[in-house]
Amino acid sequence: MKTKLPPLNSPRRYLSSLSLSLALVLGTGTAFSASTLIQTVPGTGDGIEQPVAAAIDTSAGAASGGALVVTGISHVLGQASNFSTAKYAGGKQLWLKSYNGPSSSFDQPRAMALDAAGNIYVTGTSRGTNGNDYATVKYSPGGDELWSARYDAEVDDVPTAICVGADGAIYVTGYSNGEGFVAEDITTVKYSAGGTQLAVFQLPPAEAALFDADGPAAIAVDAIGNILLAGASARLQEQFDLLVLRLDAKGGVIGESRASAPPQYQLFPKSLALAPDGTFAALSSGELEATGEADLFVTRFNAAGQSLWSGRAGQAVTGAEARIDPQGDLLVIGTADEKDLLTLKFNPEGTLLSRTDEPLGNALALAFGVASDEVITATVQPLSAGIAMLATYRTPITTSDSLPQIIVPPEGYSLIPGVGRVLTVQAAGAASYQWLLNGTPISGAIGATYLPAGVAGDYSVEVGNSFGSVLSPLARVSADDVIYAAGFLKDGSFHALFSGETTRVYQLQSSDDLTVWSTFFTQHYSGTPWTITDQPAVALPHRYYRARRFL
């Protein structure tokens, strides 16, 4: 339960017209991937009781296959807690280090990042004189504490994410709790590799209010120093969407991107993946508040911040991470409902290339391996005295030639009275089809085409074969977003007036025959009615106009 819903704000700096399609790609048939056990580490009785994050040291000189670094919580006689960070390789714990803040009280890690040299950065909350502070610690690959830094805004400060920029600087983001434990300040602190505080970026109040009370959940920095912050944001005071704010190198907000889940779902971002060309992806936990049902949503954006497509895992996933490989494919890893390992691989267009589920047990800590297409999983069985056993597995993420692939997805449209239109899908390797309306299978709709028969809603088709199935992008058939207007004036022009919802994106189109439509523009509606003046190339007896509404 969130402590508050941020107020609605008028749109300011949208990078784009938001997403024009929500492509939900689901692999319901799954394969088991063969994982290889790398190492097991017996408990020492003085270890990490609760893992929080894991990463692989792939720097030069690291152990073959990379060394696993895990950070988490260790308790001190039940009265306090410390950051504990350990490194494992070759079946051994190489070192274990703890951070104890100045109050010797409750210190808890929240996130971790490694740089190209294998240095380790851990950030978390540490009790200070004004409640919690940001506390960030740097360890060498060999486990030496190189520096620690604290940020105190004289209220309760909670870091939520950390990353290392291309320039080697370290970025820590989070929020500060004001009166009533409501997130008021969204603050990002930039440190040099040597631990010097270089800058503090605070979002303006209106921008900070876009995030929900948990603040940003993920951070990434692109090649030119722009900062991306991902978090949950309220829409219409009732539904949380994915929000990604883009800040320039001086901390000024230069754009925002959004993506929405299906109705009634709440999106809470978990991580960001950034490609060298500026494209990026966000992972979000989608929660259906009425039933508690959860799912993992994946959203891919272009370099301008436009949402290209979204996918979903079809089940609740925790601990999810994403990577964009050199070919532009998006790799997603996570821990599924029963602590199993889940992997997903999408091509740049959003087609699901592979999916695996594997029962690795208590798979609490995940990280990408040395190769771009492998996962390292740490399964931890915690006891009160420390780690009982840490087992590490390597799992390849492969591309399956057996899954059907959707070549041309169905395309949504706006209903026109008296005019029927068929939804069509083209797929390779397909053996079966099942059409769905708003996520529910339609009885008897089992062909490559389907006629909605005047029923509005979100349509999709599940295409399957003996290996499994994939779900097409949503095709929205709308009944309430078509506006007809025509008026032949003396000056030879047509005029139309349109008003919409300020939380929506609309695409304005015109047609002479209700079949072929031309687009004027696509943009976010700001609240001021749009007056459309259209001057055809030749005189026409009539012309039709419509506004297509998108999430």
Chain segment 496-542, per-residue pLDDT in tens:
777 777 766 677 778 777 777 787 777 777 778 777 777 776 666 66
Q: Hey, is 69 helix, strand or coil? A: strand
Q: Do 531 and 474 belong to one domain?
A: no
- Domain contains 38: no
409: pLDDT confidence band, cut at 50, 70 and 90? Answer: confident
Check whether residue 409 and residue 474 sit in a common domain: yes
Half-sphere exposure of 484 (CA within 13 A, CB side): 10
Q: Is the domain of 474 the same as that of 531?
A: no
Q: What is the pLDDT of residue 281?
A: 95
The mean pLDDT value for 367-384 works out to: 64
Q: What would the DSSP string read from start to end of 464-531?
A: E-SS-EEEPPPEEEESSS--------TTS-EEEEE---TT-EEEEEEESSSSSEEEEEEEE--SSPEE
168 pLDDT more than 50: yes
Co-location of 501 and 462 in the same domain: no
Q: What is the pLDDT of residue 184?
A: 66
Give domain status of residue 196, yes or no.
Answer: no
Q: Beta strand pairing status for 386-396 and 145-151? A: unpaired
Residue 384 has pLDDT above 60, yes or no: no
Identify whether 520 is part of a domain.
yes
Structure tokens at 81: 């807690």
Q: How confident is the model at residue 485 (pLDDT cuts 50, 70, 90)?
A: low
Quick one: tokens of 85? Answer: 């960070």
- Choose the weakest-confidence range: 42-46, 244-248, 350-354, 546-550: 42-46
Classify strands 107-114 and 92-99 as parallel, antiparallel or unpaired: unpaired
What pLDDT does 60 receive? 60
Query: Quick one: 472 and 506 in the same domain?
Result: no
* Residue 180 pLDDT level (bands cut at 50, 70, 90): very low
Q: Is the pLDDT of residue 315 over 70?
A: yes
Tokens representing 240 are 């949380």
Residues 499 and 467 in one domain: no
434 in a structural domain: yes
Residue 249 lies in a domain: no
Question: By three-state DSSP, how is residue 83 classified?
Answer: strand
Long-range contacts of 125-128 (CB under 8 A, 24+ apart): 125/157, 125/158, 125/159, 126/99, 126/101, 126/102, 126/150, 127/101, 127/103, 128/101, 128/102, 128/103, 128/152
Instruction: Please give the pLDDT value at position 346.
Output: 86
499 in any annotated domain: yes
Instruction: Give tens-digit pLDDT for 128-161.
Output: 877 888 999 999 999 999 999 999 887 788 999 9
Q: Check pLDDT > 60 for residue 551.
A: no
Assign residue 461 the CATH number of its domain.
Answer: 2.60.40.10
pLDDT for residue 29: 37
Check pLDDT > 70 for residue 434: yes
Lowest-pLDDT choice from 22-36, 190-204, 308-322: 22-36
- The mean pLDDT value for 169-195 works out to 82
At which of 478, 507, 535 does a domain end? Answer: 478
The helix/strand count (H/E) of the chain reads as: 1, 43
Which of the listed residues 478, 506, 529 is the one where a domain comes to its end?
478
pLDDT for 545 equals 77
Same domain, 461 and 518: no
Q: Which of 59-73, 123-137, 456-470 has the lowest mean pLDDT?
A: 59-73
For residue 515, what pLDDT is reported? Answer: 75
Range of the domain at 539: 494-550
Q: What's the mean per-residue pLDDT of the chain? A: 77
Please tell me the predicted confidence (pLDDT) of residue 23. 32
Q: What is the per-residue pLDDT for 472?
A: 86
Q: Are residues 506 and 456 in the same domain?
A: no
Do the beta carbons of residue 453 and residue 442 sit within 8 Å?
no
- The reply to whether 412 and 473 lie within a common domain is yes
Same domain, 473 and 414: yes
Identify the pLDDT of residue 83. 86
178-184 long-range contacts, CB within 8 A, separation 24+ = 180/3, 181/3, 181/156, 181/213, 182/3, 182/4, 182/213, 183/3, 183/4, 183/208, 183/211, 183/212, 183/213, 183/214, 183/215, 184/155, 184/208
Do 258 and 233 contact (CB within 8 A), yes or no?
yes
Please give the average per-residue pLDDT across 118-123, as a whole number.
95
The residue-averaged pLDDT of 188-206 equals: 93
239 and 203 in contact (C-beta within 8 Å)?
A: no
126 or 511, which is more confident: 126
Q: Is residue 435 pLDDT above 90, yes or no?
A: yes
Residue 313 falls inside a structural domain = no
- Whether 410 and 473 map to the same domain: the answer is yes
**Claim to verify: residue 439 and residue 470 sit in the same structural domain:** yes
Domain count, the chain: 2
Three-class secondary structure of residue 266 per DSSP = strand
Strands 475-478 and 469-471: unpaired
- Residue 300 and residue 291 in contact, taking contact as beta carbons nearer than 8 Å: no
**Highest mean pLDDT: which of 74-83, 133-142, 417-426, 428-437?**
133-142
Range 70-95 average pLDDT: 78
Residue 24 is predicted with a pLDDT of 33
When pLDDT is averaged across residues 467-480 and rounded to a whole number, the result is: 77
User: What is the per-residue pLDDT across 209-248, written as a single tens digit (0 to 9) for each?
Assistant: 888 878 899 999 998 899 999 998 876 556 788 999 999 9
Q: CA angle at residue 486 from 490 to 477, to 5 degrees? A: 160
Tell whether 464 is covered by a domain.
yes
Q: Where a domain ends, among 420, 454, 478?
A: 478
What pLDDT was estimated at residue 383? Answer: 44
Distance between CA 427 and CA 450 in Å, rounded? 15
